[in-house]
Homo-oligomer: A and B are copies of this chain.
Amino acid sequence: MKVISLTSDPVKGKHGLTVKPDLTFAEVKPEEFDCVIIPGGWAPDRLRRYREVLDFVKNVATRGIVAAICHGPQVLISAGLLKGRRVTCVSAIKDDVINAGAEYVDEPVVVDGNMITSRIPADLPYFCREIIKALEKLE
């Protein structure tokens, strides 16, 4: 597993945990990845502004798993991946998800083909279980 960020600077989460990115989006080779997990918080609001982020996610989506939680689906909206997909997200962005052409459902985790989405941190056990199941199927 690799942590990918816009720069190589350490990223500090809202609960104080600091993570050092393994790769920047400029360095990453999308064909080496079978799955991308987009966490929530305010980061997706930044990530969705960058073409290299959207291109990476779109590339992985052509053959692998795309998972997003909380505000993470904002990146899927800007990558143009939500049309006709059944998804969930944090309630704040549900109108954006619907306007992007998705079917929004209020469930702890939603699996639609290669796309796995959840709403809030409390859904993490359901979210992670479905990601692991999907990865096991790939092997």
Q: Which residues of A contact B (CB under 8 A)?
A: 42, 45-46, 48-49, 71, 74, 77-78, 91-93, 95-96, 99-101
Contact = CB atoms under 8 A, between A and B. Distances in A.
B96 A77 contact: yes
Contacts of A49: 91-92
Q: At the interface, is chain A mostly helix, strand, loop or mixed?
A: helix
Contacts of A45: 71, 92-93
Contact of A92 (B48, B91, B92, B100): B48
Closest 8 CB pairs of A and B: A99-B99, A96-B96, A45-B92, A78-B95, A99-B100, A49-B92, A77-B95, A49-B91
Contacts of A101: 99
Contacts of A71: 45
A71 B78 CA distance: 16
B99 A77 contact: yes
19 contacts: A42-B42, A45-B71, A45-B92, A45-B93, A48-B92, A48-B95, A49-B92, A74-B92, A77-B95, A77-B96, A77-B99, A78-B95, A93-B96, A95-B100, A96-B96, A96-B99, A96-B100, A99-B99, A99-B101
